[in-house]
Amino acid sequence: MLNFLKREKISDQDRIALVEEYIDLYGKGMTNFAYTYLHDWGEAEEIVQEVFLTVYEKISTFKGGSSIKTWLYSITANRCKDLLRSSYKKRTVITDKIHLFMGGTVYSSEEQFSMTVDSMQLAKSVLSLPVKYREVIILYYYDEMNTKEISQLLSINNSTIRSRLQRGRNLLKERLEGGEGCESV
């Protein structure tokens, strides 16, 4: 895989092979990661598709300063943040709230996620955490990234990542034991 990346020019066939391999290795995890930002499975899947298109086009620009996984997750996080800042996302959230107010049935992304997870209480608790804790918890436990990889991905000091993991764990513990810790942060 990395042998291709050391070349100046990568053939279309090699690009396709690399992207297919990355989809197999990281696609599901990246979609789950995007969901932590967007709370919408459809949008998360769209973002990941866009990321893989970008990777196909820009694979030759990868310098190897981090792992491929970290690079992919970094692109995913940036795309999610861009979407959240966009007016489209703001209109969608408002439309959903109006629809709920008018009596329609709109399941929140948190509810959809919880319906598919064995431990509904844990899933809800994780998703109720502030983003800065939620993202490190999911990257560390679900995507099995170490603190150094998370640090590179989020461009945050490793010690900050460890602190956020600890604080996130404490908030989860409070939440699961019936405390009110998550809302106050």
* C-alpha radius of gyration, the chain, whole number: 18
Interval 103-115: pLDDT, tens: 445 555 555 444 4
What pLDDT score was predicted for residue 81? 86
What pLDDT score was predicted for residue 179? 53
Structure tokens at 126: 């994780």
CA 48, distance to chain mean position in Å, is 9
pLDDT-derived band at 60 (thresholds 50, 70, 90) equals confident
Domains of the chain: 1-106 (1.10.1740.10), 117-177 (1.10.10.10)
Structure tokens at 44: 């998360």
Q: For residue 145, which of 68, 78, 89, 50 has the smallest C-alpha distance? A: 68
pTM: 0.57
CA distance linking residue 73 with residue 126, whole number of Å: 19
- Residue 149: Cβ within 10 Å count: 20
Helix (H, G, I), strand (E, B) or coil at 124: helix
Find the mean pLDDT for residues 59-88.
Answer: 85
Q: For residue 138, which of 159, 112, 117 has the smallest C-alpha distance? A: 117
Structure tokens at 98: 């109006």
Interval 76-133: pLDDT, tens: 999 998 888 775 554 454 445 444 444 445 555 555 444 444 345 677 778 888 989 9
CA distance linking residue 116 with residue 74, whole number of Å: 26
